[in-house]
Amino acid sequence: MFLLKVISDGKKFSEFKQLGIEIYLILHSFRKGLITLKYAIGIDLGTSGTKTVLFDETGNVICSATAEYPMYQPQNGYAEQEPADWYNASISTIKTVVSKSGIDVGDIAGIGLSGQMHGLVMLDENNDVIRRSIIWCDQRTARECEEITEKVGAKRLVEITANPALTGFTASKILWVRNNEPDNYARCRHILLPKDYIRFMLTGVYATEVSDASGMQLLDVANRCWSYEVLIKLGIDKNMLAKVYESPEITGFITKEIAALTGLKEGTPVVGGAGDNAAAAVGTGVVKNGRAFTTIGTSGVVFAHTSEISIDPKGRVHTFCCAVPGAWHVMGVTQGAGLSLKWFRDNFCQAEKDTAKLMGIDEYYLMDKEAGTVPVGANRLLYLPYLMGERTPHLDPNARGMFFGLSAIHTKKDLLRAVMEGVAFSLRDCMEICREIGINVSDMTACGGGGSSSLWRQMLADLYACPVKTLASKEGPALGAAILAFVGTGVYDSVPAACEAIIKTDKEQQPIQENIPVYESYYRLYTEIYPAVKAQYSKLAEL
């Protein structure tokens, strides 16, 4: 891999003759074209758009393209998308990266797919889409979740699927269509997840893989197969579901028609791929015990790898199969992470926005600098980041944000730091549940927009009491999907081996030892606030 990195960095061959004749001969072979670099494409089907990236086998980006599409909200709480938009975006972006890269398409070892989880795609007997896809953030299925819990049993549901019934998951969406659109349900012959619909269009194969299938709430997560018990109790025909593969396994091959549309070579392998967070884990090297990543986007995620299945009986975190065969991941989600800082910026930081515009810099950089002048604990001010309710550890849609301890001494800078610390406390909540169910983390990577803040990373390092690093590559899910393609086609022997060769650390922040006990005191107080006001949140929701 060192040699491949040397070549990809464009070093002169003469600089490396001193390394020995064998290395020189290998380099000479590359120069003469006797040894060829392999490439892989990672397709990341997101909610706002699809990003397709072509990587070489060292993880370098050769070419990338993105195409956006809309989301439809026909009623309050509904969220839908057109599968045709996903398909058109995938075809156009593949065509772009293939044509602009200038490489021989025969050197593309394979294609990996990543994408938004939990969406419902229904096909009829002619493989035509029956209705728009009901996607992950749709909230219409509360009654169906009650139906699932009643039919399967709350305890048994968690034992099998590793999660309680949730409105975002696919099973409740299937029941909603059956309950509310019986004609559409009667026409249904195939049920696919969003990225797996793209797989079908590329290969003609009905297939899924364990990480994405875990989010349907129809999978026996421990045994990595469809649960006959759940399917029978819910009355869902197993024949409508796709075959389940492991993430690096080859599931199909590019058809002649798709090759003509995109410029790909017919027969190019397409591997299982992974759901977006599972693919991001591969793209950040979180593929071994002790490793985890924290994402601070609109929401916040703590994602930890485990070689032994660990299920929270209270359902406060999700346990899914991960993209490493025979392993799992545990994921906690806090709803209002980066959203809290954006809310504060939009409502209270016009001066910072104006100054940043004049200076040609990011307003978040100025906000970081201001918050950095405030001591740990924000001068005895705490913030609960429940602007959108909460998932982990409090599955409570009625929870709301709060400043606790506000006094006349506090300034905008104190509130700003309190918001950032409150988000970090909520992510520590997720970490605490991981520890509670036996998953200990010693290696943490920070991702997402918030991960670019050195101050936020320092807060996390101090609260987690372990180093927090960032990575050289920012491609995340697309890189993870491509790595799975490299593994499935034999370029690398295993997912951990591929990540070891490809993933590189950028920055690393060590915990500041004197901050750890101070943060611990504030965190313990933070954990006491929600239980003290939980009943009042419910009363507020009824007003």
In terms of DSSP H, where are the helices of 250-336? Answer: 256-262, 276-283
DSSP-based three-state secondary structure for 102: coil
146: its two tokens: 């009650």
Task: Classify residue 135 by its DSSP letter.
Answer: -
Q: Which two tokens stand for residue 217?
A: 């709430």
Q: How does DSSP classify residue 188?
A: -
Q: Which residue has the tokens 């918030």?
A: 450
Residue 225 bridge partners (DSSP): 220
CA pair distance 43, 532, nearest whole angstrom: 45
SS3 432: helix
Phi, psi at 499, each rounded to 5°: -65, -40
**Cβ-contact 473, 283 below 8 angstroms:** yes
> Considering just the CA atoms, what is the radius of gyration of the chain in Å?
24
In the structure encoding, which two tokens stand for residue 307, read together? 């070689």
Chain centroid to CA 259: 29
CA distances from 239 to 4, 45, 170, 190, 228 (A): 45, 25, 16, 8, 11
Which is the catalytic residue, given 44, 220, 276, 368?
276
- In 165-242, where do the E strands start and end? 190-192, 207-209, 219-220, 225-226
Cα-to-chain-centroid distance, residue 305: 13
Residue 104 catalytic? no
Short-list 134, 496, 133, 145, CA closest to 322: 496
Start-end of H helices in 50-162: 83-101, 142-152, 154-161
What would the 3-class secondary structure string for 13-34 be?
Answer: HHHHHHHCHHHHHHHHHHHHCC
Give the pair of three-digit tokens for residue 134: 């009901």
- What number of residues does the chain have? 543
Does an H or E element contain 531, and which?
helix 515-542
Q: Closest Cα to residue 277, out of 306, 308, 301?
A: 301
Q: Is the sign of the CA dihedral 302, 303, 304, 310 positive or negative?
A: positive
Pairing verdict, β 468-471 and 505-509: antiparallel
Phi, psi of 143 (to 5 degrees): -65, -40
Calculate the dihedral angle through the C-alpha atoms of 161, 164, 167, 168, rounding to the nearest 10 degrees: -50
Active-site amino acid positions: 276
